[in-house]
Amino acid sequence: MSTHEVTNQVPPFAGRDLLADDPALAEGLARWGGDGAVAGLEPLARLAGSEPAQEHGRLADTHRPVLRTFDSRGHRVDEVEFHPSWHWLLGQAVGAGLTAGPWTAPAASGAHVRRAGGFVVWSRVEAGHGCPVSMTYAAGSALRHHPQQRDRWLPALASRDYEPGIRPVSGKAGALAGMGMTEKQGGSDVRANTTRAVPTPGGPLEGDTYRLTGHKWFCSAPMSDLFLVLAQAPGGLTCFVVPRALDDGGRNPFALQRLKDKLGNHSNASSEVELDGTWAVRLGDEGRGVRTIIDMVGATRLDCVLGSAATMRDAVARAVHHSRHRFAFGALLVDQPLMRNVLADLALEAEAATVLGLRLAHAFDAGETDLARLGVAIGKFWVCKRTAPMVAEALECLGGNGYVEENGLARLYREAPLNSIWEGSGNVNALDVLRAVTREPATLEALTTELHRVRGRSTELDAHVDSALAQARSLDPSSAEAAFGARTVVEGLALALQASLLVEHSPAAVADAFVASRIAGRRGHTFGSLDVDLAASAGALIERAG
């Protein structure tokens, strides 16, 4: 049509190197990931930013998985059919070592940081397939403490070969893991679970075998090869290993009742599962189910922080990309003073999330169990909670275009609340911080040591750290007032930790602006309300953002 001339439109967000355009991630990898960490991630980062990879991400999200309960002859099969792009994405993730490999690496090797960097980069392609990747990584943290099940499963979970399909693990080059904890009557209160576990000596599995009967309201990645499941044994709530295929080639009873119709995360087949005489092997002692699976929960919560950091990073990068190519009122958006305020503020939030996520991964590498215990709970609450409003503001930078699916921000916006809900919602994690601080005092001391690494560098930060720690130390775990104010305590600790890490590791323009805005309060209540005295820093912040 002669009237249809396309002008002032932004080129596609593709053909990028997602490590080269993320200085905070590259610097963290070099700092904590060991020799060659940056170079080792470069091929994956270039692939992640390529047009074919971005298209695979779009296709996997667009074409949702389909539940196939029966085959054409009426036999129950309980399989999920995925779009080929889902398998391509998973194959690349597994091949890049983003699953359980770090649990087989030498201590202090930087393996968890390198894997964390890869998870951030690859999550920017599409988030849904990150669920089985994360579950597989996390399962290794629980299995490694139990020699028989470790030797049986961990090599396959750490493999770089992606091999879909329900078959015995002995005949597969690689395997994936899922998890079944929550039930409809309890949700996060897993001690209210009603799934029963009856000891059943012998049978097709090695070890202490049981049969499970019950319903799981949320089962992650139902086409995985094994699941860690909580059920009530005679001795109390217990953790079990549940394979989908048995050693004799038969299928374990594992009825997929339906797939969840979720707000976002469309590519991932979250499901409800019925267990009816399902074979399982006990992992750990009876009655110690939560204690046994807690390492897996901690590892998945770390991935919630990393995945949210990836979502933030992609959102601000897309906002900056748009602003650098879009004219309005006679100038590029990126040169408009108020837009610069917004972009700089978003960039601060994304960098703080990235640095915190990598520092927590380093705690896993360094054996800093007390810091990891408390830091992951703090990070899971704060970073995941900040993602939704941050992405909403980034979307608004694109105006109406941001609300259209084809521009990428709408998918990020649908994804943004997820990590704050899964693996324990905000209240669950805030109360977990309260529990750690009051019942495991070594965790607070480890955090204190970390915060004091930059003691004396900023009087405003020092005052905030002192106040946040004093508030945490004054908590009474039996007090209703302590629980009522738990979120306030976590916010104070989270900002203290993020600010301390930025002061220690990031450029002065980043650290000073974060302390001024988040610690000293020189900003308003919305993104883009930084004080005018921070305007001089905006250029450096935007440059680091994309």
pLDDT at 225: 98
pTM across the whole model: 0.96
Per-residue pLDDT of the chain (546 residues), as tens digits, is: 677 888 899 999 999 999 999 999 999 999 999 999 999 999 999 999 999 999 999 999 999 999 999 999 999 999 999 999 999 999 999 999 999 999 999 988 999 999 999 999 999 999 999 999 999 999 999 999 999 999 999 999 999 999 999 999 999 999 999 998 888 887 778 778 899 999 998 766 666 899 999 999 999 899 999 999 999 999 999 999 999 999 999 999 999 999 999 999 999 999 999 999 999 999 999 999 999 988 999 999 999 999 999 999 999 999 999 999 999 999 999 999 999 999 999 999 999 999 999 999 999 999 999 999 999 999 999 999 999 999 999 999 999 999 999 999 999 999 999 999 998 899 999 999 999 999 999 999 999 999 999 999 999 999 999 999 999 999 987 889 999 999 999 999 999 999 999 999 999 999 999 999 999 999 999 999 999 999 999 999 999 998
List the one residue out of 363, 362, 381 whose CA is nearest residue 308. 381
Handedness of CA 206, 207, 210, 216 (dihedral sign): negative
Strands 196-199 and 327-328: unpaired
Task: Give me the pLDDT at residue 226, please.
Answer: 96
Asked if residues 242 and 252 have their Cβ atoms less than 8 Å apart, the reply is yes
**Residue 189's pLDDT is what?**
80
* Residue 251, SS3 per DSSP: strand
Angle between helices 459-473 and 486-505 (to 10 degrees): 150
The residue among 499, 521, 422 whose CA lies nearest residue 455 is: 499
For the chain, state the CA radius of gyration.
Answer: 23
pLDDT of residue 332: 96
Cβ atoms of residues 317 and 546 within 8 Å:
yes
Closest CA to 282 of 236, 242, 338, 339: 242
C-alpha angle 134/138/143, rounded to 5°?
A: 145
Give me 384's structure tokens: 């995941």
CA distance linking residue 305 with residue 430, whole number of Å: 14
CA 376 to chain centre: 11
Q: Helix 369-397 crosses helix 289-325 at what angle (to 10 degrees)?
A: 30
At 536, give phi and psi (nearest 5°): -65, -20
At 250 the pLDDT is: 93
pLDDT of residue 478: 81
Say which DSSP state 172 is in: -
Residue 121, H or E segment: helix 111-123
DSSP state of 17: -
For residues 205 and 201, give the distance between their C-alpha atoms in angstroms, rounded to a whole number.
Answer: 10
